[in-house]
Structure 1
């Protein structure tokens, strides 16, 4: 029998090249301003400036998400592109953690390499901006990697269990829903291990580490209104957990999740006939628990974190790894051989072509611009897939017309021309010339202006990090801002009016500004569609 093409060492090298190589691609790109990236910038900036969460600003989450971006602000400066660099780091960490988890599951090199390819194409390559719905999963993957190492033997067993507890808590302290599900999955794995091995030390070590790290983060914050800000379902927060929503989304949508569940059940039928043997097959049980747990987590996560709609696509690579492992164990197929691997890799590349083809399409469109059908009076009305819809939105500005600002905070990030011109007018205002002494309230997505203007940010236990009413701030903060506006406390107020979003920036504050301040400017907000406006008010 000839030696396989994919030896363990060769597979490891290719996996690392895939993970690191695709993660580095965004370094060579420019980006349109991303919706909601203002929140990532604001938290990273406040932390990098030494502000203390809950003491200097409040937020309904833990601050685990902002730790890595804040570190990159310290290293590279408070530019938006520093957030992309932070996500590159997170993508590499997440990819290596996923690879290590499969290695601990004893997944064959060919299946593992294909699964890594699915992971980077389906999940990490499309996430080039940091977002807490992604970071919560990255921390979970790191925690799972340490957990499976801690369930083995050797000198690193107990340090690995400590870091498993620490990163699983960081997942919870990044986003409550995803982090809570990460904890439940870890406990399910530890529960099986404890029952199967008849030993509880690993479960105790994990929980002890989790609680210790939790105390290190939460106890210092308790004196600063942590219980008010942190959303655990208490007023003024509201819970997003609804059984009806879960059933609706699972049974009406979720096609891939249900498909994977069905295939796994079919492939496990031989083992399900012998439950005792399955229970004692430690490797298969752990892999099955992990995969089913990830699919269940994705089914719940898509309901509790419903925007953007692809938050939960981390499950594809886990499901494919398990399914291919079962297929290979039931057949003579060996993906370590060159021909089967090439065929399977080509199928994966075709399956996930949407991840990379859009970048290829940009190049092709420049080389061969699409022909447009001109309207000729009296001639045939040419209708095709490019023009069958009539766009009546007169506010829309295509991204092809967006441009760059001269401010370093917006380096490599392009915005509507109206936005760029509006920023320049703001920077020329006499109120901005006051620098640190300027009193500014920035109720917009253009949070990098905080650093560009250089004013001293408001801090305090009742200052929200962002101003989405009912999510990032509440009526108590609204009343305080209303009073400040009525007393004309601020020199300059920047307000974003987004009429299609539910109090994304409180509408009541706009009414107060109309009554007590003078509006001197208005321009497009940096979002698609461009149907929101930034309004500039001075005393």
Structure 2
């Protein structure tokens, strides 16, 4: 028994070490400016400044996503790097929640360790920045971990507390992103109904739903009436994301990993379950199966309803691995109880997910073993040398390779590098005479991805129940807000307007407002936006005299 206890303790330490060690890596590196990170920064900045969502600004999402980044802005200041610190915390919470889920389901220690490693490598390690499509899943994992704890706790008060905590984090999931949060709610209800069916504790789903309604009321009622306008979609035209063809095309035409896991999981059950009626009463095994298939189904839907970035649904790998590995090790009697076998399994997992960590080692191998192209001494143009590195010709004259991006000396951008033209453009904006003359009283409309300029300049952010947090027409703002901005531009309300023109992105910043700016304002400068590919320019406008 002491040996078993000591082994379990070492395994637990190893699991926590993997979660924490891989999560804190971003604290020791620098980063290029991230596409779309402007939204994370401004929401956190507004919340940390005391602004109230749906009163001081509107958003089609709840504010669950910005709660943790706002807290870290309070603790460390509104620098971009504070967002990275917030994500480190989020990744640790995600890993510990996943580990807790596996512990509640009695997944054997060796498989649990491997699954934690898969989770950290496949879902946490490369997520350096907070993003709502990630945070919504993290809240879901926390909710499921509390819910499973409630299933296997006999103390009544403790069980109620766990159920209430699960309801809280399900609500935060919904209050972060409706699609992921809604599926988190349905999955939790499915687990609750099955558990109540087996145990006869039918009051548990009632208590869960009651707690969810009370928590929702406590969050939402103070935000009315603005919440009723903004949440989900503010005004017509409404655009449903539930197009059947989108789902069938993505699931049937792609989703190979998800479908492979489903097939393997079904085969495992078919081979391992001898009497289905009896198996249906093995509570932890059935809960594990329900959870795994539920996560796979959620991932299949989530990739369609939340389609950017394209890999935001890969939370399913670790659940599928844990489930399939559990059954295969039992069916095939694979021994993982020795140090050598476990180390070999860890090596296989690291090889499987080498894509997430090799790029960091590859930087050094590229220097140690530089590529040398073979060409004739008389061939000055090297036109006869074609390889996988140069078979395509980049004609984009505005593109700045990330290797040539530079750091800004502005504190808010510490540790973040951007294209040199972007940094130079920022300094030109900050050096404008009107910026120094008006100082904090300057009225700025910053429709760009450089939202941290609000702290760098600084200037007061515009507020109001009808003011959008971000400016993607049809997503973050609607026609009513566009009309209001047009009127302000016509009236020369703003002393300075920064507008990001991204012609290849569908109204990411509304084209109609740029047309209005061309009529009533004078463009005095432009420079590259901090994104790749370099398909956007930041234009600087002042009122026409």
TM bracket, shorter-chain basis: over 0.9
CA distance in 1, matches of 2:480, 2:235: 15
Q: Is the 8 A contact 1:4 1:338 kept in 2?
A: no
Per-residue Cα deviation, 1:362-411 (whole angstroms, up to 9, x for no partner): 12223333335678258771111111111111121100010011111101
Q: Is the 8 A contact 2:272 2:327 kept in 1?
A: no
CA distance in 2, matches of 1:379, 1:162: 68
Q: Is the 8 A contact 2:80 2:414 kept in 1?
A: yes
Give the RMSD, CA atoms, in angstroms: 1.8
Q: Would you identify which runs of 4 or more consecutive aligned residues in structure 1 move more than 4 Å?
A: 1-6, 372-375, 377-380
> 1:233 deviation in Å?
9.0
Q: Does 1:153 align with 2:156?
A: no
CA spacing shift, 1:439–1:232, aligned 2, 3 Å? closer
CA distance in 2, matches of 1:124, 1:379: 42
Structure 1 counterpart of 2:298: 297
Question: Which stretches in structure 2 are left out of the alignment for 5+ residues?
Answer: none
Structure 2 counterpart of 1:361: 362
Per-residue Cα deviation, 1:425-475 (whole angstroms, up to 9, x for no partner): 011112222222001000000000011112111110110000011100011
Q: Secondary structure at the match of 1:127?
A: coil
> 1:246 deviation in Å?
1.0
CA distance in 2, matches of 1:234, 1:206: 32
Per-residue Cα deviation, 1:150-170 (whole angstroms, up to 9, x for no partner): 112244221111100000110
CA distance in 2, matches of 1:380, 1:387: 10
> 1:493 deviation in Å?
0.1
CA distance in 1, matches of 2:371, 2:424: 30
CA distance in 2, matches of 1:233, 1:85: 33
Structure 2 counterpart of 1:283: 284
Structure 1 counterpart of 2:336: 335
Q: Is the 8 A contact 1:58 1:464 kept in 2?
A: yes
Partner residue of 1:189 out of 188, 191, 199: 191
Q: Is the 8 A contact 1:6 1:110 kept in 2?
A: no
Q: Is the 8 A contact 1:335 1:341 kept in 2?
A: yes
Partner residue of 1:505 out of 502, 509, 521: 509
CA distance in 2, matches of 1:2, 1:45: 51
Q: How does 1:57-72 map to 2 (within 5 A)?
A: 57-72=57-72
Partner residue of 1:530 out of 529, 534, 541: 534
Q: Is the 8 A contact 1:110 1:334 kept in 2?
A: no
CA spacing shift, 1:234–1:198, aligned 2, 3 Å? farther
CA distance in 2, matches of 1:264, 1:60: 37
CA distance in 1, matches of 2:374, 2:529: 32
Structure 2 counterpart of 1:214: 216
> 1:240 deviation in Å?
1.0
Structure 2 counterpart of 1:450: 454
> 1:237 deviation in Å?
3.8
Q: Is the 8 A contact 1:177 1:301 kept in 2?
A: yes
Q: Does 1:459 align with 2:463?
A: yes
Structure 1 counterpart of 2:474: 470
Q: How does 1:384-399 map to 2 (within 5 A)?
A: 384-399=387-402
Q: How does 1:512-523 map to 2 (within 5 A)?
A: 512-523=516-527
CA spacing shift, 1:453–1:351, aligned 2, 3 Å? same
How many residues matched? 538
